[in-house]
Chain A
Amino acid sequence: MVEKEEELTLLETLDHLLDRGVVIAGEATISIGDVDLLYLGLNVVLANMDAMKRSSGPGRK
């Protein structure tokens, strides 16, 4: 039970770090027109998925 909660905390923490917050224009921003939406940094995306997969135990689909 503790393990699951740790995993959940990790997922949630990464979600808040990577998918929220103020976007400041930079060379690595995906923007459409003037609307800045995301930092691109594909390596961030991949690393995040890696973190997700590594933190998920068996039983996760």
Chain B
Amino acid sequence: MKSIVIGIHLKQTDVEPVADSMKVDDLFASVFSVDDDRPLGDRELLLEIAAIRARLLDTATFIAIRYGLAVRDENELAMKCAGQTKRWREILGAHRDEVEMTLKAAATAATPRPDRRDFKSGAAYLRALHEAANAVDIDSDFRRGVERTLLPITTRHRWLRDSASVELAMLVRRGDLESVRAAGESLRRDHATMPFLLSGPWPLEVFADDHQQ
């Protein structure tokens, strides 16, 4: 049997009985055990894990582990998590009452993609890609609507742009979720032709991956 690692949680009661737990230092990982020869890419497995994540989030906020980590036992998990638990404990404590929400919006600006042959160094190329992606933006009217209706409800937010999409990652207090829903509905009403998607709640994903807090 191998154990697929789902999330990192502050307390054991944050995990059980919804999922099995493994100790990681003084934190707890939620895991799902499968046969050794079960492929991780199994579609049904993916959906099952997604469902468990949702139930875990109903219980308490946790740090999401990107899907794909499977360990044999607690020792292997401890080895792999070495040195991270202190930071995780801080993040979990700081955001205990919060969840992540995601807003994705279609980009409107066109920017030509930098040609790698124009660059001598990897750093210059990556910076150019970053700059070009940052030039991508959403409709300013819509953005203003987002800033007016959604951002005030968030405790933290971050715009993420890449070459194909613009996203807003938000931290929201659990008690404010209904307000977020109302804001989303008003955005939909006021910007009927603007393609966007507001989804959540999610566990700590973007805001758990920070290396600097």
**A38 and B98 alpha carbons, distance in the complex (Å):** 26
Main secondary structure of the interface of B (DSSP, over half): mixed
In the complex the two chains form, is A20's CB within 8 Å of B5's CB? no
Cβ of B205 within 8 Å of any chain A Cβ, yes or no, is yes
**A26 and B40 alpha carbons, distance in the complex (Å):** 14
Contacts of A13 in B (CB 8 A): 50
In the complex the two chains form, is A47's CB within 8 Å of B42's CB? yes
In the complex the two chains form, is A48's CB within 8 Å of B46's CB? yes
Contacts of A46 in B (CB 8 A): 41
In the complex the two chains form, is B68's CB within 8 Å of A28's CB? yes
Query: A12 with B199: in contact, given A17-B53, A22-B65, A24-B69 (CB under 8 Å)?
Result: yes
Cβ of B21 within 8 Å of any chain A Cβ, yes or no, is no
Query: A41 with B50: in contact, given A20-B206, A25-B80 (CB under 8 Å)?
Result: no
**A25 and B83 alpha carbons, distance in the complex (Å):** 12
Q: Mark B72-102, 1 if CB is under 8 A from A, else 0.
A: 0000000011001000000000000000001
In the complex the two chains form, is B50's CB within 8 Å of A48's CB? no
Interface magnitude class on chain A:
20 to 34
Residue picked from A13, A20, A47, most chain B C-beta under 10 Å: A20
**A18 and B80 alpha carbons, distance in the complex (Å):** 19
Contacts of B208 in A (CB 8 A): 21-22
Q: Indicate which residue in B46, B80, B209 contacts A21 across the interface (CB closer than 8 Å).
A: B209
| B residues 11-59 touching A (CB-CB < 8 Å) | 39-43, 46, 49-50, 53
**A20 and B129 alpha carbons, distance in the complex (Å):** 20
**Measuring CB to CB, which residues of chain B are less than 8 angstroms from any residue of chain A?**
5, 8, 39-43, 46, 49-50, 53, 63-69, 80-81, 84, 102, 197, 199, 202-203, 205-206, 208-209
**Measuring CB to CB, which residues of chain A are less than 8 angstroms from any residue of chain B?**
8-9, 12-14, 16-26, 28, 39, 41-48, 50-51, 54
Q: What are 9 contact pairs spanning A and B, CB under 8 A?
A: A19-B66, A20-B206, A21-B66, A22-B84, A23-B209, A26-B68, A41-B41, A46-B41, A48-B46
